Amino acid sequence: MDKESGAGARDSQERYKEAELLKDSRILEHTHSFIVEYNFKTKQCYIDPAQRKHVYGDWNSEYSEKRNFSRIALKEDIPKLNELFDFTGLKPGDSKSTAARFYVKSHTYEWFRVSLICYGEPDGEIERVLITFTNAEQELETVQKLKFLLARDPLTHMPNMDSFRQMTEAMIQRHPDLSYALIRMDIDKFRMINQMYGTKEGDNILRYIGVKIQEWIGPLQEEDNDSTYGRISSDIFYVCMPANASDIQEIIDFIQAALRAYPIKFEMIMSFGVYITCEADRTEHVSVSTLMDRAASAQKTVKNSYVNHVAYYDHLIRKKEVAERIIVSEMKKALETEQFQVYLQPKCEMDTGKIIGSEALVRWIHPSQGIISPGEFIPVFEKNGFISELDYYMLRSSCEIIRRWIDEGIGLHPISVNVSRTDLYNPNLLEQIKECVDKYEVPHDLIEFELTESAFVSDNMQLYNLAKLLQENHFRVLMDDFGSGYSSLNSLREIPVDVLKIDLKFLPPSSDDKRGNVILHSIVDMAKRLGLDVIVEGVETAGQAEFLLSIGCRNAQGFYFYRPMPVSEYEQCLDKPKETGLSGCVQ
């Protein structure tokens, strides 16, 4: 391959010879590897005679320091080869290697791994250098295959999450002036499809969607594609393509139509979240992951909706995200500086208006934004786990309040605190509760716990354990929001509770809804027969209250009687209970 080059005339002769041999193109094509030896003592270069005919150049000629690879190796790789063949500083025993592309008979370049090892007396000079040229095309092919497998989702053969992200990042960088649409697609109730038709059919559907997406976009080019796609996980697919409104609508229609055409007796619907990139994304170097999150936020607003299946990320979603970020960044300080306050909503007897207890409901008194309602921050805290700290704070504050009532002789009624689902996974929860209540020397029957039934069986096990432990320690347990979840009746059978708290939001009584009224009536009867107390929350009108009284339900918590209020106001209400104007017709 290489040959030494002298000066002047000899150099041009050599080049002529090289050109001749190049024409002949007998380079390394018949052999996967061959060995060359340079002997520094004899200044000779040796190559196995059997292999010599396959290479060009005068390999037996004198060795020279000045090498010339320009005719046989790809220009880009020559600096690497020059570096490899620089022996300065090398000692016997040293070795090095590189990979370079050499010209082969088929008039293309192929990859070779070139390794050399130096021989000589220990601590002496290098005497010989042995160089191995090994064709690495096959090795590379394997590496390419592995790379392909690593970058692909094995089910659909589409790019996987990492690969989609990388390809999209590169594509956006290549076309900084273009605006792109990131579209997230997700099948509604895919879990149900898996349950009803089996995971094999589920897989078939995913493959089918993969094929349809690829059919619309076309195959991805290795280098300069103008769109990308990938399956990120389970039934979540992403497409990134130039933001053209009609194209976006077209691909969405195409996928929806394909799903409708799939031979299955289940109406498969996909929801789509779209994010359109803008100038600010480029200047602020917003990552593809963030762009994907925005498409996901948009999609979340229409998932499982019967009306809309497509949502674009807009300023409202951005506002909500910003608000969430502010909540997260301020929550710790807010807790330390007592911005969270306990509001009490009285529970009362509907006929007399007499207060029988209260529920502790948190309010965030924000220094600049005023009162923030729990609906805004509780879901955020449930997501990031901060809810446990807040619940503990609410428990401690409630204990402090009762302690003061005991000390000051204020009318004593229990306060119930809410237990979030996240708390259920705290193995020390009961110990922490007991320690806190006992520290304030509050009798256990003055603190009650509101647990919410869960739609998930695994949660119900934790719920069962906690309810049992609380009861064993003489705390009363309320089943909150009864009527909301999937498993109300079942959980009643399993979870030990003292009070059923029926939420009228889910079972509103009305004169036009006879069946609904019958259900409510039956629940109240059933609870009584199970020996449970009943309280109804969300009572907003006199009519509702009267109906409840008529079916034997006496206790309520609702805006018709009392709204949640600061503790001082609650204390005033104790002295003058509300005139309810209702006749007590409890059965």
Positions in the binding site for Mg ion (CB under 5 A): 418, 450, 480-481
Question: What's the rounded Cα separation, in Å, for the pair 433 and 290?
Answer: 40
Question: What's the rounded Cα separation, in Å, for the pair 545 and 539?
Answer: 7
Which position among 25, 195, 287, 373 is part of the footprint of ligand C2E (CB under 6 A)? 373
CB of residue 197 to ligand C2E, shortest distance in Å:
36
Pairing outcome for strands 340-349 and 499-503: unpaired
The binder of 262, among ligand C2E, Mg ion, none, by C-beta within 5 to 8 A per type, is none
Binding residues for ligand C2E, rule CB under 6 A, total 23
Residue 147 or 505 with smaller CB distance to ligand C2E:
505
Site residues (CB under 6 A) for ligand C2E, limited to 374-403? 374-375, 378, 387, 391, 394
Pairing outcome for strands 447-452 and 415-418: parallel
CB of residue 351 to Mg ion, shortest distance in Å:
22
Q: Three-state DSSP class for 374?
A: helix
Which position among 172, 539, 548, 567 is part of the footprint of ligand C2E (CB under 6 A)? 539
E strands present in 120-269? 128-135, 180-187, 228-233, 236-242
Query: Considering the rule CB under 6 A, would residue 558 count as an interface residue with ligand C2E?
Result: yes
Query: Considering the rule CB under 6 A, would residue 132 count as an interface residue with ligand C2E?
Result: no
Query: Considering the rule CB under 6 A, would residue 418 count as an interface residue with ligand C2E?
Result: yes
The binder of 259, among Mg ion, ligand C2E, none, by C-beta within 5 to 8 A per type, is none
Report the candidate in 102, 63, 55, 104 with the shortest Cα–Cα distance to residue 85: 63
Among the residue ranges 22-30, 164-172, 200-208, 554-562, the one whose residues contact ligand C2E (CB under 6 A): 554-562
Residue 247 or 459 with smaller CB distance to ligand C2E:
459
Question: What's the rounded Cα separation, in Å, for the pair 448 and 471?
Answer: 10
CB of residue 399 to Mg ion, shortest distance in Å:
18
Residue 281 or 453 with smaller CB distance to Mg ion:
453
What crossing angle do the helices spanning 374-384 and 387-408 adopt, rounded to 10°? Answer: 120
- C-beta separation of 557 from 504 below 8 A: no
CB of residue 503 to Mg ion, shortest distance in Å:
5
Q: Three-state DSSP class for 345?
A: strand
Q: Three-state DSSP class for 38?
A: strand
CB of residue 450 to Mg ion, shortest distance in Å:
4
Query: Considering the rule CB under 6 A, would residue 538 count as an interface residue with ligand C2E?
Result: yes
Site residues (CB under 6 A) for ligand C2E, limited to 310-349? 345
Question: What's the rounded Cα separation, in Å, for the pair 85 and 4?
Answer: 12
- C-beta separation of 160 from 238 below 8 A: no
Residue 418 or 491 with smaller CB distance to Mg ion:
418
CB of residue 556 to ligand C2E, shortest distance in Å:
9
Residue 310 or 479 with smaller CB distance to ligand C2E:
479
Question: What's the rounded Cα separation, in Å, for the pair 253 and 226?
Answer: 21
CB of residue 579 to ligand C2E, shortest distance in Å:
18
Query: Considering the rule CB under 6 A, would residue 559 count as an interface residue with ligand C2E?
Result: yes
Dihedral sign (CA 351, 481, 387, 438): positive
Instruction: Tell me which H or E stretch contains 33.
Output: strand 33-39
3-state secondary structure 440-491: CCCCHHHEEEEEECCCCHHHHHHHHHHHHHHHHCCCEEEEEEECCCCCHHHH
CB of residue 481 to Mg ion, shortest distance in Å:
4
Residue 277 or 418 with smaller CB distance to ligand C2E:
418
Angle at 560 between CA 558 and CA 566, to 5 degrees: 65
Please return the burial class of 375, using the count of CB atoms within 10 Å of its CB with bins 0-12, 13-18 and 19+: exposed
Query: Considering the rule CB under 6 A, would residue 480 count as an interface residue with ligand C2E?
Result: yes
**The two three-digit tokens of residue 97, written as one number:** 């290697």
- C-beta separation of 582 from 350 below 8 A: yes
Residues with Cβ within 8 Å of 181's Cβ and at least 6 positions away in sequence, in order, are: 239, 240, 241, 242, 243, 244, 247, 248, 274, 275, 276, 277
Query: Considering the rule CB under 6 A, would residue 362 count as an interface residue with ligand C2E?
Result: yes
Query: Considering the rule CB under 6 A, would residue 540 count as an interface residue with ligand C2E?
Result: yes
Report the candidate in 123, 116, 22 with the shortest Cα–Cα distance to residue 68: 22
Query: Considering the rule CB under 6 A, would residue 545 count as an interface residue with ligand C2E?
Result: no
CB of residue 492 to ligand C2E, shortest distance in Å:
17
- C-beta separation of 115 from 95 below 8 A: yes
Residue 485 or 577 with smaller CB distance to Mg ion:
485
Which position among 361, 402, 437, 466 is part of the footprint of ligand C2E (CB under 6 A)? 361
Residue 186 or 450 with smaller CB distance to Mg ion:
450
Query: Considering the rule CB under 6 A, would residue 232 count as an interface residue with ligand C2E?
Result: no
Residue 422 or 550 with smaller CB distance to ligand C2E:
422
Which position among 98, 256, 420, 487 is part of the footprint of ligand C2E (CB under 6 A)? 420
Question: What's the rounded Cα separation, in Å, for the pair 32 and 328?
Answer: 61
Query: Considering the rule CB under 6 A, would residue 537 count as an interface residue with ligand C2E?
Result: yes
Query: Considering the rule CB under 6 A, would residue 463 count as an interface residue with ligand C2E?
Result: no
Mask: binding to ligand C2E, 77-116, rule CB under 6 A, as x and -? ----------------------------------------
The binder of 558, among ligand C2E, Mg ion, none, by C-beta within 5 to 8 A per type, is ligand C2E
Residue 276 or 419 with smaller CB distance to Mg ion:
419
CB of residue 374 to ligand C2E, shortest distance in Å:
4
Please return the burial class of 586, using the count of CB atoms within 10 Å of its CB with bins 0-12, 13-18 and 19+: middle
What is the residue type of 463? L
CB of residue 330 to ligand C2E, shortest distance in Å:
17
Binding site for ligand C2E (CB under 6 A): 345, 361-362, 373-375, 378, 387, 391, 394, 418, 420, 450, 480-481, 537-540, 557-559, 564
